[in-house]
Structures are given as C-alpha cells and as structure tokens.
Amino acid sequence: LWVPQYLHVAMDLVDMGTVERVLKAVPKSDHVLIEAGTPLIKQFGLSVLSKIREIRPDSFIIADLKTLDTGNLEARMAANASADAVVVSGLAPIETIEKFILEARKTGIYAVIDMLNVSDPVKLVAELAKRGAAPGIVEMHRAIDTEGSKPNWGKIKDIKKAAGGKLLVATAGGIRQNVVKTALESGADIIVVGRAITASKNIQNAAEQFLDEMNKEEIDQFRVMTDF
C-alpha cells in the first residue's frame, strides 16, 4: 500500500455466486482493495481467500477475522491462507492485539485494528506504539446496526500522530459517495464501501463512481509518469 487513497470493497456476503459477480465486476486497479468480510469467512472459512485469489490473483486481499483472542495464531492462519492483511478487533485484550500485530509483521502481512466500539482509539494506538507494535492500518468503523449515528472521523490525525510513524486510517460503516470528500479531508487513506457497491444493480459503475469521487485517475497517471 504505497500511495493512498484506496477504495476498499467489503464483501459482507454469504452467497458465493454474489461474491464471484462482485469480484468480476469491480474494476481492476492498484487502488482497489478486496475484503473477505466476517460473514463470508464464517460461512466458508479462510479457504474462501483462495477462491478470491483465483478470480483476482493480483488484488490486495484483506481477511476480516475481528480477532478477539489467540492473536498470533489467527494472524498466521490468515497469512497461510494468502491474505495480504488481517483484521483484529480493538476490543481484544491489548496483549492479544500486540501478539497479533507482531505475528502479522513476521509473516509479511498488514495488521488492521477495527476500532468498532473502542472508546479511545488514540490511547490504544499510543499504547501499542510504546510496545513497538503499532498497526499498519486503523479502521474507524461505524457498525451497520448504528448507521444513524454520526461517524467519528475527527480523531484521524490524532491517531496517526499517536502511532509515531507511517500508519493508514480507513473509514467504514455505511459509506456513500456523498461523504467520501469529508472522509478524505478528515485524513482518511482508505474508504471502505460495502453494500453501496456489492448490492448495486451495476457493481462496476458504482465502484467507478467511488473511484471518480476519490480522483484516482490522477494518482494512477502520476504513477505511470514516475515509473521510469
């Protein structure tokens, strides 16, 4: 993940036919990340990652395990299943999160902390940084069941500062096109979108509209110009 911003397509799905349709329709881009959501992994197990990889061999794939215990074991399981990143819940004991992050590093994948229902994300990131276990990605997540609430994106810059180094922040939870600019202006590096893409009648068009909103064409052109 070398140059934000990224569109992160979250597949919180339980039907493999729908998964395949989404994977084939979402544009192939360096700035599109693919997530095997928690319901998808619960339905099919981590073996679903290899099925995703068959359809999109070059995509960056995230396994949303929302780990709460056995952090090092679950991080390694995701790495062995070909994940590029794996998600731990910020509600887990800090020792679990620390072991999870260190194991993810050891296996060469990104550790993501999902801050759903975490009261003080800045404090958690600062404590992990003190332990030498700052995550690669922090996800500021509003639950599907609480989408009427206001998203808490005001702390993004504080979270990055608390990490004391390079850290990407994702915004998630009922994201629609009309809030993309606000999220980016708040400091978000990754925009997590689920049903607005996966449940769309025209999946490709929906994803392209989000990418347009993020002005990804300009960044892709920049990459081409600097690859020589």
Rounded distance between C-alpha atoms, residue 164 and residue 168, angstroms: 12
Which pLDDT score, from 0 to 100, does residue 145 have? 53
Residue 74 domain flag: yes
SS3 21: helix
Cis before 5 (ω within 30): yes
The answer to whether residue 1 is domain-embedded is: no
Query: What CA–CA distance (Å, rounded) separates 150 from 75?
Result: 31
Coil, strand or helix at 209: helix
Q: In this structure, what DSSP letter does residue 109 have? A: -
Give the whole-angstrom CA distance, residue 196 versus residue 105.
Answer: 32
62 falls within a domain: yes
Q: How many domains does the chain have?
A: 1
Q: Does the residue 178 lie in any domain?
A: yes
| Beta pairing, strands 168-172 & 32-36 | unpaired
Domain that holds residue 172: 6-226
Count of residues making up the chain: 228
Query: Which helix (H) or strand (E) element contains residue 99?
Result: helix 94-107
Residue 79 covered by a domain:
yes
C-alpha to C-alpha distance for 202 and 226, rounded to whole angstroms = 33
Q: What is the CATH number of the domain that holds 209?
A: 3.20.20.70
DSSP 92: S
In a domain, 38, yes or no: yes
Buried b (16+ CB within 10 A) or exposed e, 56-87: eeebbbbbbbbbeeebbebbbbbbebebbbbb
pTM exceeding 0.85: yes
Predicted pLDDT of residue 177: 87
The pLDDT averaged over each successive group of 10 residues in the chain (228 residues) is 92 98 97 98 98 98 99 99 99 99 98 95 97 96 59 82 91 85 92 96 96 69 36
pLDDT recorded at residue 151: 63
pLDDT of the residue at 207: 97
Q: Checking phi first, is residue 215 left (phi over 0); if not, alpha (psi -120 to 50) or beta?
A: left
Classify residue 56: in a domain, yes or no. Answer: yes
Given this model, what pLDDT does residue 26 score?
A: 98
Angle at 192 (CA atoms; ends 12, 32), nearest 5 degrees: 95
- Does some domain include residue 69? yes
φ and ψ at residue 100, rounded to 5 degrees: -60, -50
